[in-house]
Amino acid sequence: MKKRILMILALGALVAGAAEWRPVALEESAANGGATRVLTVDYADLTTAATNTAQTLTVAIPAKCAVRLTAMVLDAAFDTANTNYTGSLAVTVGDGSDVDLYLTSTELASDGTEVWKKFGNTAWNSGTATNVTFAYGSKVYTAADTLDFIFTPNAEEAVSANTSGAMKFYFYLKP
């Protein structure tokens, strides 16, 4: 029982940022590929004020956990309200072995060609170095790691300059 409680606590640990990492309700799970957890991020969670500097939000993943990205949903496009530049905010989702294992660079800004929905690969891979590169979207962790959500702005702005935007990342996690 103690081991199971520690596993649940580890699955809920958001290491950086104020974004919300929570369990998914049954209806929400069915609509998003069987997800068990969701990370909700909005513009207020992006706090890095340095120009042209990415910000990483991380979620701890324990060893012996299977993880699959089921969906990314952009609820509201991100925008800095700056009319001097064409805004851009791209996101990748990966881990310590591959920065875009779960989600390749995806545009979130209203000035760009924002992507409203994107789904992860349904194939599982073994989590070994030779198998990680063949499929995006899933991995079985043999050692503890983190999910890394990397938000990259355009060269002239900071991620904290966004004044609107909200999104969700849906994951299936099996301890």
The pLDDT tens digits for 129-154 are: 333 333 446 899 999 999 999 999 99
159-174 pLDDT tens trace: 999 999 999 999 999 9
Block residue for tokens 């890095």: 48
**How does DSSP classify residue 162?**
-
Reduced to 3 states (helix: H, G, I; strand: E, B; else coil), residue 160 is helix
**pTM across the whole model:** 0.84
Reduced to 3 states (helix: H, G, I; strand: E, B; else coil), residue 120 is coil
Q: Cα(29)–Cα(25) distance, rounded to whole angstroms? A: 6
